[in-house]
Amino acid sequence: MLNTTSMFITFHGKLEDSVKTYYEGLAEDERYGETRGLFQELARENMKHKEMVLRTYREVITDAFEGGFPLTDLDEKNYELETEVADGLILPKVLDKAVELEEASKRFCEDAAASTKGLMADVPQAFEWVAKRKARRIDKLKSRI
């Protein structure tokens, strides 16, 4: 169970790393043609998302985050990602999988934002910002299916 802000931040970083690795693998596959550029762009954005949330957390960290403020438990199992790239997947299936990954990651960011609302506004706002970016990425991916 995730029940501290630092656990939320760490888990978010792992989600972003997993999705980044997925996109990097797709970007290397010549079968996906011009969509490879999109996958490279999305992988770079994953690192920006991770760093933005982490930087925000570091700027405002206090003992209240970790000791004195109860957070709603989030279960990591609700956000598990399968990022294995199966050989031979056609582009529409790859894009469907990418949408699934983005939706799970977006859901975590929305839940983390809601769970940290009582804290200083910066951390929930960072998660909300990433969730909005995820929604735009989902739309971009769906437009290619």
Q: What digits encode the pLDDT tens for the residues 41-79? A: 999 999 999 999 999 988 877 655 554 455 778 999 999
Q: What digits encode the pLDDT tens for the residues 97-133? A: 999 999 999 999 999 999 988 766 788 999 999 999 9
Give the pLDDT of residue 67: 46
Structural domain harbouring 84: 5-142
Contacts for 7 with CB less than 8 Å, ≥ 6 apart: none
CATH value at residue 38: 1.20.1260.10
Give how many domains the chain has, as a whole number.
Answer: 1
User: What residue has token string 């004195």?
Assistant: 68
DSSP string for residues in 95-145: HHHHHHHHHHHHHHHHHHHHHTTTS-THHHHHHHHHHHHHHHHHHHHHTT-
